[in-house]
Amino acid sequence: MVIHSSRWPQAALTLRDHEELRCDYLRNLSGVDQETHLEVAYYLLSLTHKQEYCVKVKTDREQPSIPSVTDVWATANWNEREAFDLFGIDFPGHPHLVRIMMPDDWVGHPLRKDYEPLDPEV
């Protein structure tokens, strides 16, 4: 399932709250660089129905932004920070969106395909 970023907040609530879905646990999310755009893949579980789903949300490459779902699934907190740190994806509404892996003064986002390290030997 692929969802536009502007529809993601409402879609996330529907996935969590709809009686037939009940995606009550966000297991993980992963940033993906598709060269023409960035996307985030959300891996959701319904513990009630014993089902697993993968939902992808696309965003612009130049100003990547996807609304935060930390208020829907608490487990999104550190995962969104990782995608921000390594891919440069902004998550408006996140309570504390700062780097989680790279030093604060690090330049760029190392998992993007257009990333060029300052020192090629690294």
Domain ranges for the chain, please list them.
2-87
> Which tens digits make up the pLDDT trace of 66-108?
999 999 999 999 999 999 999 999 999 999 999 999 999 999 9
CB 11 within 8 A of CB 58: no
**Strands, E assignment, the chain:** 2-4, 25-33, 38-46, 51-59
pLDDT in tens, 10-47: 999 999 999 999 999 999 999 999 999 999 999 999 99
Residue 75 CA to chain centroid, in angstroms?
11
CATH number 3.30.460.80 is the correct assignment for the domain at 2-87: yes
Structure tokens at 53: 């789903």
Neighbour tally for 68: CB within 10 Å: 20
Residue 122: predicted pLDDT: 57
Partnered with residue 28 across adjacent β-strands are 43
Q: What is the pTM of this model?
A: 0.92
